[in-house]
Amino acid sequence: MKKNNLILLVFTLLIITSCTAQNDDKSQIQEVLTKFCKAGDENDTKELATCLDDNYRIVMNRLFGSTEVSIMDKAVYLDKIKAKEFGGDSRTLTIENIILNGTTASAKVVLKGTKSSFISLITLVQDAQGYWKLIGDMPIVQ
Of 16, 13, 37, the C-alpha closest to 93 is 37
pLDDT tens, position by position, 86-101? 999 999 999 999 999 9
Measured between alpha carbons, how far is 53 from 75 in angstroms, rounded to an integer? Answer: 11
DSSP state of 6: H
| Of 110 and 10, the one with more pLDDT | 110
- Would the pLDDT of 1 be above 80? no
Banded pLDDT at 9 (limits 50, 70, 90):
low
Which residues have C-beta within 8 Å of that of residue 102, sequence separation ≥ 6? Answer: none
Q: 2-141: which CATH number, 2.60.40.1180, 3.10.450.50, 1.10.1740.10, 3.40.50.300?
A: 3.10.450.50
- Would the pLDDT of 6 be above 80? no
Indicate the length of the chain as a whole number: 142
- Would the pLDDT of 82 be above 60? yes
How many angstroms separate the first and last alpha carbons of the chain? 60
Measured between alpha carbons, how far is 76 from 80 in angstroms, rounded to an integer? Answer: 6
| Of 99 and 4, the one with more pLDDT | 99
Pairing of strands 52-61, 132-141: parallel
Looking at residue 45, its pLDDT comes to 98
Predicted TM-score (pTM) of the model is: 0.82
Banded pLDDT at 63 (limits 50, 70, 90):
confident
Kindly list the domain boundaries of the chain, sorted by start residue. 2-141
| Of 17 and 128, the one with more pLDDT | 128
CA atoms lying within 13 Å on the CB side of residue 35: 18
Looking at residue 10, its pLDDT comes to 54
Question: How large a percentage of the chain has pLDDT more than 90?
Answer: 78
